[in-house]
Structure 1
Amino acid sequence: MIKTNKDKLVIQSVQGKISSPAAGNNPYRIDREGLAHILPATGGICYNVKIGDSCMKWVGDHIEPGVSIKSDNAADNNALVLLACIGNEAKVITGNAKGAKGFVTGMHGGIDHTLIYFKDRDLENMAIGDTILVKAYGQGLAIEGYEDVKCMNIDPNLFDKLNIKETSDGIIEVPVVTEIPAYLMGSGVGSTTAFSGDYDIMTGDKRANEKFGINELKFGDLVLLKDSDNTNGRQYLEGSVSIGVIVHSDCIKSGHGPGVTVIMSSKTSKIKGIIDDKANIGNYLGIL
């Protein structure tokens, strides 16, 4: 079994409020063909968009499954999206759903939302402005004997459930639903760190969407990003490998598409993907 330093990691509180969808004076979103649309987008409570659903079918832009939270204080929110990790326990601490528990499913850069799964009955009792506390646990996670593999953004208890295997020649095998070439990675490339937020798989090329299984992607799916280095910022690097989780929906804008929050990265090919159509955090967390 893969050994980590999880017993040395700090569990720390961060929190935010359910964030309302927002619109500017110009309500239109411009698609890849230059056409204007009025569509649902980020924020709020999405009642019918969930982990395990297709991330490609929705009439919307950057749709976030479940509940989107944010702190009103910029520095506090920076800490929330930096320290919260996929799989962390989240608890409602105000409002009619007080006491309900869920878990973090991803972080969305740019809008800087933290995304959280809750059961349907709890969603019905929530309202915009309710406060949710997250037990942040995972940043600093490391695999013993693999200093060239950097882990990030994942709860160590979820990490243990991914059925990661170590080969005799020192390769880490991780289940993924598909592999994505670096040339399809778009919005977010060049960010200074992958420890916060996400970046997008571009979906403007319909043949590539079919070839690489992008049309079949679901919220919560694990994917492998080839030649994509996320160890210190996001860049192309031949031979590098990253593993990430699909966190938001497809988009209509050029250079955008399903968002990926990275959970592992190596500048070398120490990580290998094993294709498994059940490689989804919903399966590992027991909600699918």
Structure 2
Amino acid sequence: MRWGAVLLLVIITLGMLTFGLRITPIFTALLGFCLAVWRFRRLRLVRWIALLLVIAATILGWYVPFHEYADRVEYLSRKKIEGPNTFSTIELAGIWTLNIGMAAGGWLAGFREVAAETLLLAIPGPNERQWASDMPMRSPKVRRVLAEMLREARRSGQTDYKLRKYRIGWSYNPRHESIRTALALNPFTITGHAIKHGDRWLLKLRGTVRIEYSRKYKLMLFRSLRGRKIVIDEGLFWVLQERGWFFPYQAVWTWSVWSDDPRLEDLNSVYRGWLEKLLFWLMF
């Protein structure tokens, strides 16, 4: 476990350096060094000095990583205006590494689906990639659409009814929606069939979402205490798409749900993971 953490910190440090950060990697390098030498008694003094340096640097310069990241993103965003071909191989590698870091961070935070979608962008593959999961049911927006589909099937008078297409969008509002679902599925198109079995209906569903980066979209994560916007500029990853480093695709979600599933009666509850609950508590 300890050496696994050390390896992860080494990879993170190298990724930061590749992205163009120069001060922030010192934090992770010192922390990795502390973990690596912690059990060596002969290096007891060295490890305590390194640990104290990490603590002191964190207390005195906790804001530095955010502002250094923001400076780098702003520089690369300005360069993007000149066109994808103006980026050097090192800069492209840094952005590619940032994408992998986002996927890893998303996975650890409980946003597994968008983490997997993000990671797969960096791996060549088919134009359609399949997910057999009812994860979309976490969203009340999806459940309300399915309830409408069920009413539509019952009104049809048929026993095998092709459902019309619905398109769902999200605003990333944690008060009313599952951020986990919104990040993975926005925008989401649902089609399917409703099949009657006695008094029950089976909805066999297919949802699709295009996985690719936009040239202009920016997602603001938060503001630093100094008022600086900390954002993810999708245009930087769009550059990698244009240069052939990323491979856009369509994610296809398939699942089935019976008409008496209790989730179709609960059309307002938001199913949140631990990080979503924490964010909701902090914000509201």
**TM bucket by the smaller chain?**
under 0.3
TM norm structure 1? 0.25
Higher helix share: 2
Higher strand share: 1
TM norm structure 2? 0.25
